[in-house]
Each structure stands twice: as structure tokens, then as C-alpha cells.
Amino acid sequence: MYFTTMDSPIGMYLIGASERGITYVDRFKEGDTIPEMNESPLLIEAKKQLEAYFSGASKDFDLPLDTAGTPFQESVWEALRAIPYGQTVSYKDIAVAVNNPKAVRAVGGANNRNPISIITPCHRVIGISGKLVGYGGGMDAKEYLLKLERENS
């Protein structure tokens, strides 16, 4: 495994990768342990693409991903990556997209377990009422990311 950190406008992120792809992108939280840093060419490219995203210069990511979810989680994460930049959808919309319209709570659980935030844009999922709801990186980060995308759409 390879790890690096990246400063962003909303705090420091930890990025992880295997030989096959990106495995982890998440914002540091108080009490998080920092693993030994050992960058790879893939991590350098991931940082470059994330920096371009945060600057508003890029809306897409072109990185191999190496996730280790259940088949259901993988289908949800794939549906999240299909949400267009600058748009939001509800958990119900994702449940319908994965052909399981009654699985709204399970979609929420898979969304919560997304190991690759921003690249797999779980921040684009909101409540059916249009209200912003939970985000593992913190509600301040979710609000920032949605505002960044609205302003650069």
C-alpha cells in the first residue's frame, strides 16, 4: 500500500493506493492516525487531479480505482460516479439507479462506506426533501464541495 497526504481548502486529505488503483481518499479527522507516507506515480497523479478539482479547473477524474466492497456497494459506488458534476440526487434516486428502489437505507449505508470520497462523489447525494444530510467528511466539507461545483458548472 502507498499513502500520501494533500492539503485542500477544506483540510488535509489522506490518499491511499494499491498496485491496482486508488483505494482511499478521505479528509483527516481529529484522532486519525497518519500511516507511513510512501508516494507512488499513481498517488502523484491523484493529487494532481484532486488539486485541479479543488481549483475548479477539472470536473472529472481519470484514475484506476481499487475498491473492496460487496457487489451491492460496488453498484452504488458506480452509480455515484455517474452523478454529473454540479448536480445532486437523492438516496432514492440511487436506489432506483441500482435497480433496487426499496433499498434506500442500504444505499445510505453503502454511501457511508464509500472509501474514495470526492472521486466517488457521495457528497452529491442529498435527502429526498432536498435537505443536506450526513457526510463522513463533515457537513462543512459537503457544503463546500457542492458550492464549488455549483460555481464551476
Known catalytic membership, residue 122:
yes
DSSP one-letter string for 76-142: HHHHHHTSPTT--EEHHHHHHHTT-TT-HHHHHHHHHT-SBTTTS-GGGEE-TTS-----TT-HHHH
Backbone φ and ψ of 99, nearest 5°: 60, 35
Amino acid (1-letter code) at residue 41? P
Q: Which three cell numbers stand for residue 2?
A: 502507498
Backbone dihedral region for residue 88 (phi beyond 0: left; psi -120 to 50: alpha; all else: beta) = beta
DSSP-based three-state secondary structure for 54: helix
Q: Which residue from 7, 14, 81 is spatially nearest to 43, judged by alpha carbons?
A: 14
Say which of 97, 122, 145, 148 is annotated catalytic.
Answer: 122
**What residues are labeled active site?**
122
